[in-house]
Structure formats: C-alpha cells, structure tokens
Amino acid sequence: MSLSHYEKRSLIRFLLIYLLSIYTFIFILAGMFYTIEMKNMRENDALKMRATASSISHKIISAHMMEDNTLESCFNQKPIEQCFSIDEGYQVALFGAKHKPLHVTFNDDVDFSQKFYLKDDSFFYVDGSAEHHLGVHDIVIKKAHVSGVISAIKQEVVLYLLLSLAFATLLGYVLAKQFLKPIKAEIETLDTFIKDSTHELNTPITAILMSISTLKNVDEKKRKRIEMSAKRIATLYGNLSYMLLHDKQNEEKSDVDVKKLIVERLEYFADLMSSKQINLTLKLEEKTLHVNEESLSKLIDNLLSNAIKYNRFEGSIEVTLDSEKLRVKDNGIGIESSKLGDITKRYKRANSDKGGFGIGLDIVNTICKTNGFRLEISSTKGEGSTFSISF
C-alpha cells in the first residue's frame, strides 16, 4: 500500500535525521582515511628516498676510501641515476661545499634547511651523510609527479565514500520502513474504523436533513435546532471523509465560479449564523479558479464554520473575494499568538472549549498546498481573526 501524506512526512523526517548524522560520521571517517593515506604515502616515500640516499652515500664513501675512479668516470659519461642504479622515477643531484652543484639532473631550487618536503608536485629528500667524500656534501633525491599518486588516493577515498553513503541511505530507508510498519498497521486499523463509522453515518445524516423540511406540528425553534445540529454532523462527516480519502484519490479539476460557491455555502450556514445573530458583510467580485470543486467547498466551509463557531453573540463576519485572494474576517474570541504556528496542524486546537477535532484548518492548509495557494492567519486574542487565501 502507498504511504499517506503524514506517513511520507514521518519517513522523510526520520531519514533526514538518520542520514544527516550518518553522513556526517561517514564524511569524518573519509577525512580521517584520506589523512592517514596521505601520511602513509609521505612516510613510505620518505623511507624509500632515505634508503636510496643512504645507498648513494655508501657508494660515494666506498669509492673515495678505495680510491676507485670508476664512479667519477661514470658521472662524465652517463646520467648520474644510472651510475648509482637508481629506481626509475627518482632524480639525483650532488652538491658540494656551500651547496655548490656538482652533478645535477634537475633545475629546481633546493631548500637545504628541510630534510624532506613537498614542492611543485615533487618530493625532495636532502641527505648530508656523504661528509665531503669525493667532494660531495649533500645528496638530493627528487620524486616528481606526486599529484598522480594523490589523485589516486582521492579517487579511492571518493569511491569508498560513495559506496558508504549509498549503503547508509539504503539501510536507513529499510530501517525506516521497518519502524513504520507497526505504526502504519495501527493507523490503517484506525482509518478503517473511522471510514466504516463515517460511512454508516452518511445514510442517517442524509435522512435527517431530508426529513427536517417535512416535519409538521413542530416548534420552529426546535426544528431549526435539529437542522443546525444535523448540519454540524454533516460538516464533520465531510471533513472526516475528505481527510481519510484525500491521500488516496486523484482530484478532478474544473473551472469553478468562486463567488457563486461562496454564496451557496453561506446559505448552508445561514441558520447557524442566525442562531448567534451574526452580522454578515459580503464584498465579492467575480473569480474563477481551476480547482477541484469539492476541495474548494471544503476550504470555504471550514473557514466559515470556524468564523461562526469562535465568534461572539451578535458578532460580525466579513467575507471578501477579489482577483487575488479570499479573506474571512471575524471579531470573535481570537487566537493566542503562541498558538498561531500550530493551529494548521492536525488535531491541534486553539480553543478546547468550543469542541471540534482539530482537523478543519489542517484540511484548509492541505488544500492550499495542493493547489499552490498561500494561507495567511492573523489574530488578536479577544478581538478576532482573519484568514486569507492568496491564489
């Protein structure tokens, strides 16, 4: 079964928290792995270059002690690396007293104050163990094109990082689905119960509303009271049905005359407004919207129902419609500023004294999001509220 809007939101929230924490941990590990690999590379190269320099120094000292001119003759005939049988990839330079170049195969400036360092994509190792044998004071080993090795390390780290992120994401999704299973089962059971209950209510509610107009020899006030109560139940039934089925149905849209629909819904609530002697002011312009008519009707019903329910006796309601927005304003009990941020959430109520389930404004907010409308609420405790829907 597909996930509902709230189940999707819960799943997304869990995944965001889980992935943000696990991604942070993975990136820290990747950074540590890269640092360790770079350190190992430098240490390995330093050890190899020191061993190479020691080998060269040993050969120079031996040639000098044994008065063997073969090495010096080789310097004049071959590249110095061949004379010492140096591994490919290394370059060698010999310097005398005061860093005077004796036999040099590269043109880089050497920093003799450092023993091992990285400069211009090359490692340099400086060794002074020749101790002026054959006039050699310093042996400098160079390893070029280090960036290729560093790039390979980076690629390895990125590969492991991507694999870890993919695994963590998949694991998070599977865990989230598993965590949601029992919750989803309970929600589905509750939804089924509410759906069956509301379905069973539909027939008697319709029968009551149809029978009220045929009642004879009944006091008019009592008849009105019965009719208003039936309409309240019908409105609640409609909200429950919409809330349960909204995530599971595709809404068909058509061009709706908003002004006409508002007038029709006001007629539906006329008796409720009359019972509280509410003064109604209308400022309606012609407006057509391409929406689902039932959804728009639910939106208008909930705005009007709240304006009536939370209004004072002999209060006022002003309904304004223009090309840009619909506004419903009342001078009722108002809403505390601390509760304004939560009243559009499901099952949240600004005032528990007036009853209700806290689903009306959640439905309004859902319809606004579905159709790209913007809901704005302003209210002052004890002075009234204004609900504006920008198209």
**Per the domain annotation, does 168 fall within a domain?**
no
| Residue 166, C-beta contacts closer than 8 angstroms, at least 6 positions apart | none
Domain shared by 17 and 143, yes or no: yes
Per-residue pLDDT of 172-184, as tens digits, reads 888 877 877 787 7
Ranges 74-88, 117-131, 194-208, 328-342: which has the least confidence: 194-208
Domain shared by 12 and 146, yes or no: yes
**Per the domain annotation, does 382 fall within a domain?**
yes
Adjacency order of strands within the sheet including 122-127: 101-104, 90-95, 138-144, 122-127, 116-119
Residue 237 has pLDDT above 80, yes or no: no
Read off the pLDDT band of 329 (50, 70, 90). Answer: very high
Phi–psi pair at 249, nearest 5 degrees: -135, 150
**Per the domain annotation, does 239 fall within a domain?**
no
Query: What is the mean pLDDT of the segment spanning 64-92?
Result: 87
Domain shared by 144 and 257, yes or no: no
**Domain termination site, one of 121, 150, 179:** 150
Domain shared by 142 and 272, yes or no: no
Pairing mode of beta strands 122-127, 138-144: antiparallel
**Per the domain annotation, does 231 fall within a domain?**
no
Ranges 153-162, 201-210, 275-284: which has the least confidence: 201-210
**Per the domain annotation, does 180 fall within a domain?**
no
d(CA 104, CA 111): 15
Domain shared by 142 and 264, yes or no: no
Determine the pLDDT at residue 137: 93
Amino acid at 311: N
Domain CATH for 342 = 3.30.565.10
Entry pTM: 0.49
Minimal CA–CA distance to 260: which of 238, 233, 223, 293?
293
**Per the domain annotation, does 100 fall within a domain?**
yes
Residue 1 has pLDDT above 50, yes or no: no
**Per the domain annotation, does 57 fall within a domain?**
yes
pLDDT, greater one: 162 or 13: 162
Q: Give the number of domains in the chain.
A: 2
Q: Which domain holds residue 267?
A: 253-390
Determine the pLDDT at residue 245: 62
Query: What is the mean pLDDT of the segment spanning 240-268?
Result: 79
**Domain termination site, one of 150, 169, 187:** 150
Domain shared by 140 and 270, yes or no: no
Per-residue pLDDT of 190-206, as tens digits, reads 767 766 766 666 666 66
Determine the pLDDT at residue 88: 81
| Residue 374, C-beta contacts closer than 8 angstroms, at least 6 positions apart | 368, 389, 390
pLDDT, greater one: 34 or 217: 34
Q: What percent of the chain has pLDDT over 70?
A: 83
**Domain termination site, one of 150, 183, 215:** 150
Residue 116 has pLDDT above 90, yes or no: yes
**Per the domain annotation, does 246 fall within a domain?**
no
- The overall average pLDDT reported for the chain is 84
Amino acid at 301: D
Pairing mode of beta strands 90-95, 279-284: unpaired
